[in-house]
Amino acid sequence: SDHDLDYPIHPNLMDWHQHYPTFFPSPPAKEDTPSLEVLNRPLDPSAPRVEWADIGCGYGGLLTSLAPHYPKTLMVGMEIRIKVQEYVRERILALRRREPGSYENVSVMRMNAQKFLPNFFHPGQLTKMFFLFPDPHFKKRKHKARIITATGLDEYAHFLALGGLLYTITDVRDLHDWMVQHLDAHPLFQRLPRDEEEADPVTPHVRNSTEEGIKVERNRGEKFLAVYRRIPYPT
């Protein structure tokens, strides 16, 4: 259940300081009743903000692999399982201790990403969203629980900036077909051609850095990748 999750009622009230103390030197001012002025404040393009979200990040392999390559980009993992989230948190803190000044741009939170994205992000805030080896929910009556659905995509499109990228990868052919079918049908997403997918420096991390991806590799399983760009409303 979600009632023990910790989330702000509005993205402007989020305490990013606890996640990225280097980028947010102080916590937000605590107000009993948030003022309209604070709630209406638009995203400041010159202020630091989370840009990449790894949805269902599992044990954190993607983010810990990307973080040192993109030290100025803030990235967050969202993971619903308490123990797994705690593991990733410890993993990041240990990396920060071992390499002072590094890994300051990566963090993780325990969150149900299917419910609470609007509490954390402004429309168009994210430039990348990752859905790597999501739970397949094999049974037909469970398909609506999948993380990529028509309504899920409406929301992801809302939080992705124009030109932003949504990455999916899975070893389950049927799930890949499902994700591609829904993304192809969505007016705000366009699939990247294969050569652009391969030219993207993030693609190798998507394929090979997550714990699930490594497991598939070990079992010589096939991996099905699809990357989509957030495009404008068709006119």
Count of residues of this chain found to bind ligand SAM when the rule CB under 6 A is applied: 21
Q: Out of 4, 135, 195, 200, pick the active-site residue.
A: 135
CB of 74 to ligand SAM, least distance (A): 18
Round to whole Å and give the CA distance between 207 and 199: 13
| Among the listed residues 7, 133, 156, 167, the single contact to ligand SAM using CB under 6 A | 133
| Among the listed residues 75, 84, 117, 202, the single contact to ligand SAM using CB under 6 A | 84
Segment 40-69, which members bind ligand SAM (CB under 6 A)?
Answer: 56-58, 61
CB of 215 to ligand SAM, least distance (A): 8
Residues linked to residue 77 through DSSP beta bridges, in sequence order: 54, 108
Whether 135 is a known active-site residue: answer yes
Contact status, residue 130 vs residue 62, Cβ threshold 8 Å: yes
| Among the listed residues 11, 19, 20, 79, the single contact to ligand SAM using CB under 6 A | 79
Residue spans of alpha helices (H) in the chain: 36-40, 61-66, 82-98, 117-120, 150-159, 173-185, 194-199, 203-208, 211-218
Q: Is the dihedral of CA 28, 31, 34, 35 positive or negative?
A: negative
Round to whole Å and give the CA distance between 198 and 188: 22
Is there binding between residue 142 and ligand SAM (CB under 6 A)?
A: no
Round to whole Å and give the CA distance between 130 and 200: 14
| Among the listed residues 12, 65, 73, 112, the single contact to ligand SAM using CB under 6 A | 112
| Among the listed residues 135, 155, 197, 200, the single contact to ligand SAM using CB under 6 A | 135
* 226 in a labelled binding site: no
Structure tokens at 131: 């859905």
Instruction: Name the residue nearer to ligand SAM (CB basis): 132 or 188.
Output: 132
The edge-to-edge listing of strands for the beta sheet with 189-191 is 106-110, 74-79, 50-55, 126-132, 160-170, 224-230, 189-191
Contact status, residue 119 vs residue 112, Cβ threshold 8 Å: no
The residues annotated as belonging to the active site are 135
Residues that bind ligand SAM (CB under 6 A): 56-58, 61, 78-81, 84, 111-114, 132-135, 210-213
Binding residues, as ranges, are: 56, 79-80, 112-113, 132, 210-212
Binding residues for S-adenosyl-L-methionine, as ranges, are: 56, 79-80, 112-113, 132, 210-212
